Amino acid sequence: MVRRKRNQTAKKKASTPTKAITPQVNAIPEFIEGIPTKKSCIKERRELITEYYNSLWKRLQREVKSNFIVNDFLQAKIYIVKNESDKKAKNESVYNWKSTFSVKHLYEIVKNAKPKPNSDIEFVEVKQGSQKANGYKQNIILYHEFTNSKFDYLNFAVKLTIGIKADGKHIQYAINKIEINK
């Protein structure tokens, strides 16, 4: 009898269909290019943003002996100013991995940002507070889209805010992940 039960059990197991485990191509991994994607990893992303800005300043000093990137659309020098450009990112871009990802790719964004398709440049009045305190007279809003054919989660848009000072100097002020309705 014992034998019979074992055979019956073996037959039962064999006839049970097994679920195929398929990897999810668009599932967001725990880390993307070294950036933690969990919402709770704010401290880690803040440290990464500091590291990314420091690396960018060193790169700019090495390549152009200054702290600016020329935007191809505006044909203007966009300055990356220590304790001004990075301050807002350290406080706001830490809450979303896409914003931190954008800071990591800031050089590419500043260089290639442009207005939304079929739109003019957006000029925005300066807000009270830090924008006025930093001496901005007007802000320009430009956009950059990340596209990736392999991973859907790497397809998103970024809004770049550039502050214009009274002397005409353009300063990278803020960078944020946004969703654009298509």
Which of 34-52 are b and which e, b meaning 16 or more Cβ less than 10 Å from the residue's Cβ? Answer: ebbbeeebeebbbebbeeb
φ, ψ at 28 (rounded to 5°): -75, 125
* Residue among 150, 26, 156, 27 at smallest CA distance from 100: 156
What is the rounded average pLDDT of the residues 139-152?
A: 93
Residue 20 lies in a domain: no
Give residue-wise pLDDT tens across range 2-39.
555 555 555 545 555 555 554 555 688 999 999 999 99
Residue 24 lies in a domain: no
Using 50, 70 and 90 to split pLDDT, how confident is the model at 182? very low
What is the rounded average pLDDT of the residues 62-72?
A: 93
Residue 89 lies in a domain: yes
Please check whether residue 100 is in contact with residue 94, taking contact to mean a CB–CB distance below 8 angstroms. Answer: yes
What is the rounded average pLDDT of the residues 164-176?
A: 87
Rg of the chain on CA atoms, in Å? 24
What is the rounded average pLDDT of the residues 154-162?
A: 93
Residue 84 lies in a domain: yes
Which DSSP symbol is given to 133?
H
Using 50, 70 and 90 to split pLDDT, how confident is the model at 58? very high
* Residue among 155, 158, 145, 176 at smallest CA distance from 25: 155
β strands within the chain, DSSP E: 31-32, 35-36, 68-71, 76-79, 122-124, 136-146, 156-165, 170-178
Residue 8 lies in a domain: no
Residue 54 lies in a domain: yes
pLDDT computed for residue 17 by the predictor: 52
What percentage of the chain carries pLDDT values higher than 90? 54
Residue 109 lies in a domain: yes
Structural domain of residue 90, as residue ranges? 31-178
Which DSSP symbol is given to 16?
S
Indicate the number of domains in the chain.
Answer: 1
